[in-house]
Amino acid sequence: MPATPRFSIIIPVLNEAACIRHTLEGLQAWRAEGDEIILVDGGSTDDTLALAQPLTDLQLLSASGRANQMNAGAAASRGEVLLFLHADTLLPRDARQMLEGIAKSDGCARWGRFDVRLSGSRLALRVVERMMNLRSRLTGIATGDQALFMDRTLFHAVGGFPAQPLMEDIELSARLKRHCRPHCLRMKVETSSRRWEAGGLLATILLMWRLRLIYWWTGDAEAVAARYRNVRGK
């Protein structure tokens, strides 16, 4: 029986052929340390799976939706600490060393997230990422772009990601926060700015804040998802 991995990196994907190989190549040092990389596909029709196959330890098929996919990956994982990573997000070089230090000092990682840097070069993106990181540090609420990590015992204690189509990261953070405050690491992951730039920077900011306010007021993730699809045409 293989030794239990320290970390399980779980990556939900859907048609991510353009970026998945680059993301996974940056994680091979983790595999060399005995950690596992689990890719959970929600029905890709491009070359995502073929490109990822030699760079992952396990590939799963799941019902689409990040919450479903990440829960499926967690159920199949063996690591002591779960790290949920978006396909277009790159971990910093020293991320494993940082998380290992937290795990040793606390006995486990409990939970937390990284600061985020958006990949684009526009000055306005620097303002957006600073606001994202500050908001998260003040509220103790993290988003999936920030590479959420937590020990598996705590993940299961809060019931995993809620089965909802949007805001699953916000809801999970709120549940985790009832147990303890997060580690808000200043070390930065780099995530793609494609969503911000494709939808228009100001329009995307206003949309995301409007959706979050609706969710905070109503708790209705289905209504939030419907409004998002209506705006984005999906």
Q: pLDDT digit of tens for each residue in the chain (234 aa)?
A: 458 999 999 999 999 999 999 999 999 999 999 999 999 999 999 999 999 999 999 999 999 999 999 999 999 999 999 999 999 999 999 999 999 998 888 766 799 999 999 998 999 899 999 999 999 999 999 999 999 999 999 999 999 999 998 999 999 999 999 999 999 999 999 999 987 787 788 888 888 888 888 887 888 888 888 887 777 655
Identify the pLDDT of residue 195: 79
Phi, psi of 59, deg, nearest 5: -120, 135
Question: Do 8 and 79 form a contact (C-beta atoms < 8 A)?
Answer: yes
User: What Å distances lie between residue 142 and 34, 76, 116, 139, 181, CA to CA?
Assistant: 27, 24, 11, 8, 11
User: Could you state, in order of their start, the residue ranges of all structural domains in the chain?
Assistant: 7-198
Tokens found for residue 223:
């209504």
pTM here is 0.92
Identify the pLDDT of residue 232: 64
Identify the pLDDT of residue 1: 41
Rounded Cα distance between 128 and 55, Å, is 32
Characterize 138-162 residue by residue with b for buried, 16 or more Cβ atoms within 10 angstroms of its Cβ, and e for exposed: eebbbbbbbbbbbbbebbeebebbb
Strand 58-61, strand 36-41: pairing: parallel
Phi, psi of 186, deg, nearest 5: -80, -15
Identify the pLDDT of residue 174: 95
Rounded Cα distance between 163 and 232, Å, is 22
Which of 143, 140, 82 is closest to 109 using CA atoms?
82
User: What Å distances lie between residue 87 and 21, 38, 90, 150, CA to CA?
Assistant: 9, 12, 8, 18
Pick the CATH number of 7-198 from 3.90.105.10, 3.90.550.10, 3.40.50.880, 3.40.50.300: 3.90.550.10
Question: Do 7 and 35 form a contact (C-beta atoms < 8 A)?
Answer: yes
Identify the pLDDT of residue 135: 94
Q: How far is CA 206 from the centre of its chain?
A: 22
Q: Which helix (H) or strand (E) holds 19?
A: none
Rounded Cα distance between 71 and 84, Å, is 10
